A and B are shown apart, each in its own frame.
Chain A
Amino acid sequence: MPTFYERKQIVTPGDLLAENDYMAGDNTYKENGKIYATRVGLVDYDNRRVSVVALKAFYIPYIGDLVIGKVTDVTLGVWLIDINAPYPAVLRASDALNRPFKPQRDELSSIFDVGDVVIAEIVAYDRTRDPLLTVSDLGLGKVKRGQIIEVTPTKIPRVIGRQGSMITMLKQETGCQITVGQNGVILVSGKSLEDEQLAIRAIRKIEEEAHTSGLTDRITEMIKNEKRGVEHV
């Protein structure tokens, strides 16, 4: 049961990762007892499971995920929302209204119009249907202020950190409200433009160095240094 790469080594699709007793994890497939990579990424061996942390991927909806999307269409009874996935997401009018939708009374574009940015949660999705969203929960709904940045969805776990350590630190140090969508869209809103820009620089740094260890400490240091720099001026 040999393995052919070391942890965190870069692999490309078709690279043979392991044989026999291993299980195929994320971004790998098994054929004739051999496990191959399916995406460009860094290998990870965890006990018997071989997986690849993809360096580039797109978002696939998952029930319960918080996502940030943009309204692309208002139709009779539903909004269509672009959540950076291969499928357009659907938000029902009755969900946003919290009561049955009456076309003669309710004007949908006065609630969410084309171009509005919405924080929502995925309530239903499978292979046969487009993802269904909800906004009827605390913290969900239309985005009124702040800045939007996008990162590769595979790097979102790093932005959040283990048990939210990274995101908690970011909020504390920059004083910004940060909402992380699992689809790779992040909303940053702070008291001043400088605060927001600092948070964005930190997130960009996390994105670049997502695969390295001790990242939370380095980011903390970077933010503290930059803040000191601002105070001197």
Chain B
Amino acid sequence: MSKKKTEKLIDKKGIRIDGRELNKLRPIKLEVGVLDNANGSAYIEQGKNKILAGVYGPKEVHPKHLAISDRALLRCRYHMAPFSVQERKSPAPSRREVEISKVIKEALEPAIFAEYYPRTSIELFIEVLQADGGTRCASLTAASLALADAGIPMRDLVAACAAGKVDGHLVLDLNDVEDKEGEADLPLALIPSLNAVTLLQMDGKATLEEFEQLVNMAVEGCKQIHKLQKEALKAKYITVKEEPKE
């Protein structure tokens, strides 16, 4: 049975089901400042993933008892639209969404200077419009751009990328089929300038050596994504930069 899958997901030349090589990212499109009503926003397309992120704040905390007296409270809501997957997803938050909201919040917190704005809250909303595997990483990538767009001071942009094991091969940036049929999946978030990992999860099976290789692959992927993030952020403000001829 597993042999059948080998032929299905990765061919003899090492080309994956969507035509990529093993260590290639999916095509990524990033846009900053797409929403007028949020203080900051970003949109990402990574392969077939389509995700929106919006940020409000810092502002007063409601309910008040949640306020932290020495730093800002970061609140995050990751949500998948009912039409984001093939089988309608109930709009109520699932166990998985609650978990992803939590890990995204914890992955972004070390990058934010939350101590500058005590007793406030920063609210982050992530809406997955179309899902195709690796949405937590793509969401994180978009969310950190939205935070920067809101003018929230950050140590660095946070980039996220997954690596995994599919049919015995180690691959970068798994899509939905690879994620579901593959042997292992390892999402990772990185603060590049500090060289700090803020999210590391894994499911499936891999040997210790493979794990190390996967981490290194994912870090490389994050660095590529980080470059795209910077470009996207600058692209929004580049029109501002050009000085008119006198």
Contacts and interface: CB of A to CB of B under 8 A. Distances in A.
The finding on whether chains A and B are genuine partners in a shared complex, rather than unrelated, reads yes
Interface of A: 8, 10, 12-16, 27, 29, 31, 36, 38-40, 42, 54-58, 86-88, 127-128, 208-209, 211-214, 218
Interface string B135-162: 0000000000000111101111100000
Interface stretch (B2-10, B45-53, B205-213, B233-241): B233-241
A86 B151 CA distance: 12
Contact of B60 (A12, A15, A86): A86
Contact of B237 (A40, A87, A88, A213): A40
Contacts of B155: 13-14, 29, 31, 36, 38
Contacts of A39: 148, 151, 153-154
A186 B162 CA distance: 47
A213 B233 CA distance: 24
B59 interface: yes
Contacts of B156: 13-14, 36
Interface stretch (B17-25, B83-91, B116-124, B169-177): B116-124
Contacts of B246: 214, 218
Nearest to A210: B240
Nearest to A127: B118
Contacts of B201: none
B244 A86 contact: no
A86 B193 contact: no
Interface-centre pick from A86, A127, A213 (highest chain B CB count, 10 A): A86
Contact-residue size bin, chain B (C-beta under 8 Å from the other chain): 35 or more
B117 A86 contact: yes
B148 A209 contact: no
Interface-centre pick from A8, A56, A57, A209 (highest chain B CB count, 10 A): A56
A128 B118 CA distance: 8
12 contacts: A10-B237, A12-B229, A13-B157, A29-B113, A31-B194, A40-B233, A58-B39, A86-B58, A87-B120, A208-B240, A214-B246, A218-B246
Contact of A38 (B60, B113, B117, B194): B113
Contact of B120 (A12, A15, A42, A86): A86
Contacts of B192: 14
